Structure 1
Amino acid sequence: MNTDRFYIDGAWVAPQGTGTMPIMDPAEDAQIGTVALGTAADVDRAAEAAVAAFEEFGRWRKADRIELLRRIRAGTEARREDLAQAMTREMGAPITMAREVQAEAGTGHADGFIEALEAQEERWRLANGDTLVREPIGPAGLITPWNWPINQIALKVLPALATGCPCILKPSEHTPLSAAIYAEILHEAGVPAGAFALIHGTGPEVGDALARHPKLAMVSFTGSTRAGISVTKSAADTVKRVTLELGGKSPNLVFADCGDALEQRVRDSVAECFLNTGQSCDAPTRLIVERACYDEVVEIARDAAESTGVGDPKQEGDHIGPLFDKLQWDRVQAMIETGIEEGARLVAGGPGRPAGLNQGWYARPTVFADVSNDMQIARKEIFGPVLSILPAADEAEAIRIANDTEYGLAAYVQTGDAARAERVAARLRAGAVHVNGGGMGWGTPFGGYKASGNGREGGLMGLEDYQEVKSLHFG
């Protein structure tokens, strides 16, 4: 595995510096490898190659770019198992979920971008006679997190290449295995030298160098809101475009009119909250429940949490795995303790590890009831298998509570009334609203309001983030 080298200008090269860090398996708390850490000098080298590559790659015909995406998609499918196994080892995704969801994102997003690029007009005429053309913005820096490694890499690398933008990827230094495999896929697919680079490293070193670099036209970042603010400030001096996909504290509104479907809606909601061990920016972590069905929902959620399996991510099944590392485990434990101290009613789970799992960073699926929206467990992104249940007297109060957050990435609604679903969705300040378990298809733009970021990833709008529009005026 090429974790001791970087991919720059079409080749695996030695880093400019000597820094390294261990690659850890969170299920065993054991070192499974070492990754090299880059420096600003490595970013300079990649940026020079990207600028040189842009001269030709930026002029590739759409048909050639589509064919490149098709080859990348085929390579991703061929190495799906390698990607899944890597993510299971480096961040603890259970292997079944790693195959069916985490690795699947690589091919799914490729399908979405191929369809979007085929449909996009890159030259059109206005009614006033002027002509508009879309052009690649130029070399881009891409910074991705550890919780959905290939999902986030594909959402950035694919639109960059689809639009003719050379790109430099800094994946999370904690999940280098899957990123290195993806770089191998791109190389085999024939991405031209300089049009893609992979540099491992920390945010303060490599991430900041990308954000500040004067030869990069944009930077796209996914991660915490705190880090996104830092990236934006670092990029300001070079007036580059900045797109951000940041944190969330997504509300899930449950109404009594679900009728006979109530139990399944609640069980599915708990499962969605705990998916990826709760380490998803759009997880529905605030269950806001109409008073008329509140007690019933709390009991269903308690049983669903206690029925949630936790175990070895290398084993097949629908269980959840460990948290990502000790730091994340400590944070989740601290937030569970905070919930207890704040007076929320603990109805399932709690501090510590599940019974029988004494090694690795496993957490107990936890549910709090009687939570008020001013409690820290209702306001802070916990990033673990922790659900907060909040009562609401009626629809108006449920909407008020849902919108009372600094975030606006996603929202969820459970109702048996189609008119209510439309009415409530229109009032929720979030980039995506999921009604009765509805999922997001490949090619649908993903992004949020408020402190959850700006820009959109996926599909047509995901392409547009990497493009400029030029107007032509003929006499």
Structure 2
Amino acid sequence: MPKPEGGSPPVTSRSLEALGLSGILERSLFINGAWRVPAGGRSVDVVDPATEAVIGQLALGSPGDVDEAVRAARAAFAHWSVSAVAERAALLGRVHALILERAELLAQAISLEMGAAINFARASQVPLAAEHVRVARDLLASYPFAREEDGFLVSREPIGVCGLITPWNWPLYQITAKVAPALAAGCTVVLKPSELSPVSALLFARILEEAGLPPGVFNLVNGTGPDVGEAIAAHADVDMISITGSTRAGVQVARAAAATVKRVTQELGGKSPNILLDDADFERVVPLGVASAFRNVGQSCSAPTRMVVPRAALAQVETLAAQAVAFMTVGDPASTDTVLGPVANPAQFARVQEMTEAAIREGAKVIVGGPGRSEGFARGFYVRPTVVSEVTAGMSIAQEEVFGPVLCLMPYDTVEEAIAIANDTPYGLSAHVQSADPQAARQVASRIRAGQVHINHPNWNPLAPFGGYKRSGNGREYGVLGFEEYLETKAIIGATA
């Protein structure tokens, strides 16, 4: 990794004003088709993680704002739930086109608000978010909302008002993964994005407004989890909650929702394994495994941060992993040379330091990186991309989510042991298997308790259902199964000939 000489390298000074977004954080409520300033007068700083400079203050909503948004969504549900499928598909088509038209502005906003390298924001954060909208639109063309069985009709109907809570790490991607299928199903929405990365959410709301969405169908309330998130979850007139976030946040939301017995879907934490079988092409799969673990600076709940490797190949894998990290330039997220920008916020920076230090205390061997700020940076939340080896299942680093560019190498002696290591965490969101023998890889994949298993680093598929076993959550997102989370099932008996 290049080490700049003479202290901090220059980091591009960016601002909302430079993006033409002055004042966007102030009118932070979009309720019943109108932009509003919260009445409470409370705000939170929005910080550029590359410079630690405050780029603006986000005006925070309140439980009262939630109540108003839910009332608007409930009123709009009466007409949106029975709108024509073609109308909803056309609306989503306009949204998709507008996202693509404004892709560069969205990418710049995401890079500014959460530190994503601009090339990554352009290649992944924005286009993959657009894909969720396209998939939801396309599903409407063929989805059977009613089907006849033997003596009865099964009808799939929109569940109602949906409270959607999204995280800071994939701010636009996670919004479209929830909002698009909800709107496609005929539901109305109250969205609470993360207050740590709110700019792209506000831009998305502007897109929905321009696309011609009827008032009240989509509502946006910015605010904190304890104030706005819990108010949405507990609201008696919200029919469903979908949250992506930490397991801790998912538990809190489920508790708040329990009293009203609403549906709760959760996409939560992960500690995903990547099993390298002994016939794998290590020269190929190790660099790909490092890249997958460090994608989005490791801030992905599905990141395969435990590489489970044959003990006889451990030294080779250590060398290959260190070489892969050496090619990952840490730097200014505005630069097209940068692979890894900063992590998104000070709490995440502290978390990476804490977990890396714990790994060393507990006996892990540092191959590259380690605690501390990346070399040459005096400011910004730049962590050192780290690989630790000789990690055992009992170590904190093998059990707890780090959410940063920290990869564990865990040796095994038998395939049975590799599968046991893979399953030995509280999580079960995602997993990877690498092998020259696809059948052997499938056999291993079938025994891993995770909602998605990737064999030999396939391309991302927006139709493949995504969600977790164990403490990684309940329910599924993406594709048909993700769409059906927003539908209720009604049996009408005696309706057929």
Report the TM-score when normalising by structure 2: 0.94
Candidates 72, 75, 78, aligned match of 2:101: 78
C-alpha distance in structure 2 between counterparts of 1:96 and 1:306, whole Å: 19
Candidates 104, 108, 133, aligned match of 2:155: 133
Work out whether 1:150 is the aligned partner of 2:172. Answer: yes
Q: Give the counterpart letter for 1:329 in structure 2.
A: F
Q: Give the counterpart letter for 2:303 in structure 1.
A: A
C-alpha distance in structure 2 between counterparts of 1:211 and 1:8, whole Å: 18
C-alpha distance in structure 2 between counterparts of 1:334 and 1:284, whole Å: 20
Q: Which residue of 1 aligns with 2:52?
A: 29
Maintained 8 Å contact 2:232/2:238: yes
- Aligned-pair CA distance for 1:356: 1.2
Equivalent positions of 1:346-365 (< 5 A) are 346-365=366-385
Candidates 166, 171, 185, aligned match of 2:188: 166
C-alpha distance in structure 1 between counterparts of 2:137 and 2:466, whole Å: 17
Maintained 8 Å contact 1:255/1:293: no
Work out whether 1:58 is the aligned partner of 2:81. Answer: yes
- Aligned-pair CA distance for 1:163: 0.7
Work out whether 1:376 is the aligned partner of 2:399. Answer: no
- Aligned-pair CA distance for 1:306: 2.7
Candidates 262, 271, 293, aligned match of 1:240: 262
Maintained 8 Å contact 2:332/2:338: no
Candidates 472, 476, 482, aligned match of 1:456: 476
C-alpha distance in structure 2 between counterparts of 1:395 and 1:440, whole Å: 26
Maintained 8 Å contact 1:111/1:443: no
Maintained 8 Å contact 2:45/2:57: yes
C-alpha distance in structure 1 between counterparts of 2:139 and 2:420, whole Å: 36
C-alpha distance in structure 1 between counterparts of 2:426 and 2:51, whole Å: 36
Candidates 389, 394, 408, aligned match of 2:428: 408
Q: Which runs of 5+ in 2 are unaligned?
A: 1-20
Q: Percent sequence identity over matched residues?
A: 48
Runs of 4+ with deviation above 4 angstroms: none
- Aligned-pair CA distance for 1:17: 1.3
Q: Which residue of 1 aligns with 2:243?
A: 221
- Aligned-pair CA distance for 1:115: 2.4
Equivalent positions of 1:165-314 (< 5 A) are 165-258=187-280, 261-314=281-334
Q: Which residue of 2 aligns with 1:329?
A: 349
Partner deviation per Cα, 1:174-197 (whole Å, 9 max, x = no partner): 111100000000001111100001
Q: Give the counterpart letter for 2:472 in structure 1.
A: S
In structure 2, the residue corresponding to 1:469 is in which secondary structure? strand
Coordinate RMSD, CA, aligned:
1.0
- Aligned-pair CA distance for 1:319: 1.1
Maintained 8 Å contact 2:45/2:54: yes
Partner deviation per Cα, 1:72-93 (whole Å, 9 max, x = no partner): 1011111111110101000000
Work out whether 1:343 is the aligned partner of 2:366. Answer: no
Change (3 A) 1:265 1:318: farther
Q: Give the counterpart letter for 1:208 in structure 2.
A: E
Partner deviation per Cα, 1:168-218 (whole Å, 9 max, x = no partner): 110000111100000000001111100001111000000000000001101
Partner deviation per Cα, 1:315-365 (whole Å, 9 max, x = no partner): 113511001111111111111111111111111001112221221000111
The worse-fitting range, judged by mean Cα deviation, of 416-425 and 290-299 is: 290-299
Candidates 486, 490, 493, aligned match of 1:466: 486
- Aligned-pair CA distance for 1:292: 2.9
C-alpha distance in structure 1 between counterparts of 2:91 and 2:465, whole Å: 22
Q: Which residue of 2 aligns with 1:419?
A: 439
Q: Give the counterpart letter for 1:85 in structure 2.
A: Q
- Aligned-pair CA distance for 1:24: 0.5
User: Which structure is higher in helix share?
Assistant: 1
Q: Give the counterpart letter for 1:219 in structure 2.
A: I
Report the TM-score when normalising by structure 1: 0.98
Q: Give the counterpart letter for 1:39 in structure 2.
A: S
Partner deviation per Cα, 1:287-330 (whole Å, 9 max, x = no partner): 10012322211111122123321000001135110011111111
C-alpha distance in structure 2 between counterparts of 1:106 and 1:224, whole Å: 20
In structure 2, the residue corresponding to 1:257 is in which secondary structure? coil
Q: Give the counterpart letter for 2:490 in structure 1.
A: K
Partner deviation per Cα, 1:434-470 (whole Å, 9 max, x = no partner): 1111133122211111100011111111111111111
In structure 2, the residue corresponding to 1:119 is in which secondary structure? coil
Work out whether 1:11 is the aligned partner of 2:34. Answer: yes
C-alpha distance in structure 1 between counterparts of 2:36 and 2:206, whole Å: 13
Q: Give the counterpart letter for 1:304 in structure 2.
A: A
C-alpha distance in structure 2 between counterparts of 1:241 and 1:250, whole Å: 26
Maintained 8 Å contact 1:113/1:443: no
C-alpha distance in structure 1 between counterparts of 2:138 and 2:69, whole Å: 30
Q: Give the counterpart letter for 1:71 in structure 2.
A: R
Q: Which residue of 1 aligns with 2:7?
A: none
- Aligned-pair CA distance for 1:27: 0.2
- Aligned-pair CA distance for 1:56: 0.6
C-alpha distance in structure 2 between counterparts of 1:389 and 1:184, whole Å: 44
Q: Give the counterpart letter for 2:218 in structure 1.
A: F
Q: Which runs of 5+ in 1 are unaligned?
A: none
- Aligned-pair CA distance for 1:416: 0.7
Partner deviation per Cα, 1:368-416 (whole Å, 9 max, x = no partner): 0101010001100001110010100011100000001110000001111
Work out whether 1:399 is the aligned partner of 2:419. Answer: yes
Candidates 89, 114, 120, aligned match of 2:143: 120
In structure 1, the residue corresponding to 2:350 is in which secondary structure? helix
C-alpha distance in structure 2 between counterparts of 1:280 and 1:211, whole Å: 24
